């Protein structure tokens, strides 16, 4: 799956965060977990409907041309207030013509190569791989509005194969650490949930559907951050929405380019 959506989403609101520590509260965590569970169930319902219809394209991708990307809030306006924080939920869809389901999955699961695909991924590493389950760690860096942030994101990713025409994946963060003075001798990792509140939780839900045109991709990125600074939300929120849409779109675009590049580099078989 294009876990880059996670990577580019991570700092959607980083530039608005003030340099004051924010602690993740239990009611905030519970609110996110409830929302994430509902979003995951809706995604699975959609996937199962598609799996029963075999080559049914991913959500929103039916009328798209090759490489065209449709990005939008996955629910409401993409930013949902919960007690003590904000849930960010964005979605994007595209169609990759002339590629196979395996082509797309190969790029999505090449976690060691993510730093060569996604601009905001500084380092990427597979921590473990057993069957269709991966544990991966990404170091993500972004800057904007005069602020920058670096995060180490550890996630568990599972791939599922309901039939020969569809693959879907579910990624959930296990640990997110904000890194101070990244890349220097004084680098240190802040305690999880006791940092600037850029990103406390994250998940990505992605489906790949084989069609007569190629592969339709639909992905949803979820995240939990601190709330906007008091009295500035009316200024910041519209900008954060634009950044949310742009980041999920750019992430899927980078994934698309990587898949196409690998297909074009593949040697031509002389067999048959």
Question: What pTM was estimated for this model as a whole?
Answer: 0.85
Calculate what percentage of the chain has a pLDDT beyond 70. Answer: 77
pLDDT tens for 104-148 read 999 999 999 999 999 889 999 999 999 999 999 999 987 654 556
Tell me how long the chain is. Answer: 272
Question: Which CATH number applies to 4-186+193-265?
Answer: 3.30.530.20
State the chain's mean pLDDT as an integer. Answer: 82
pLDDT of residue 5: 39
Lowest-pLDDT range of 14-23, 79-88, 205-214? 14-23
- Considering only 64-68, 126-130, 242-246, which range has the smallest mean pLDDT? 242-246
Sorted by where each begins, the domain ranges of the chain are: 4-186+193-265
Rounded mean pLDDT, 170-195: 90
pLDDT in tens, 189-241: 989 988 888 889 999 999 999 998 899 999 999 999 887 655 444 445 555 66
Provide the pLDDT confidence category of residue 243 given band limits of 50, 70 and 90: low
- Token code pair at residue 51: 């799996």
Average pLDDT rounded to a whole number, residues 55-72: 69
Cβ pair 168, 142 in contact under 8 A: no
Distance (Å, whole) CA 94 – CA 68:
6
């Amino acid at each position: 799956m294009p876990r880059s959506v996670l990577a580019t989403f991570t700092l959607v609101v980083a530039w608005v965060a003030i340099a004051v520590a924010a602690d993740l509260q239990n009611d905030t965590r519970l609110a996110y977990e409830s929302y994430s569970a509902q979003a995951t169930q809706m995604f699975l319902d959609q996937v199962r409907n598609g799996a029963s219809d075999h080559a049914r394209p991913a959500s929103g991708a039916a009328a798209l041309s090759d490489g065209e990307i449709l990005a939008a809030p996955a629910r409401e306006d993409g930013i949902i207030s919960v007690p003590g924080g904000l849930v960010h939920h964005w979605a994007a869809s595209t169609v990759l013509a002339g590629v196979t389901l395996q082509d797309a999955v190969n790029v999505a699961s090449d976690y060691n190569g993510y730093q060569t695909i996604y601009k905001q991924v500084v380092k990427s590493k597979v921590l473990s791989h057993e069957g269709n389950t991966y544990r991966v760690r990404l170091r993500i860096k972004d800057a904007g509005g005069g602020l920058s942030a670096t995060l180490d994101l550890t996630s568990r990713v599972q791939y599922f194969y309901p039939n020969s025409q569809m693959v879907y994946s579910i990624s959930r963060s296990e640990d997110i650490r904000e890194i101070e003075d990244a890349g220097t001798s004084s680098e240190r990792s802040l305690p999880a949930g006791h940092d600037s509140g850029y990103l406390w939780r994250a998940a990505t839900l992605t489906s790949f559907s084989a069609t007569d045109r190629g592969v339709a991709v639909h992905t949803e990125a979820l995240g939990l951050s601190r709330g906007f600074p008091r009295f500035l939300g009316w200024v910041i929120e519209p900008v954060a929405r634009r950044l949310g849409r742009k980041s999920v779109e750019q992430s899927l675009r980078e994934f698309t380019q990587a898949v196409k590049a690998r297909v074009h580099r593949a040697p031509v078989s002389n067999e048959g």
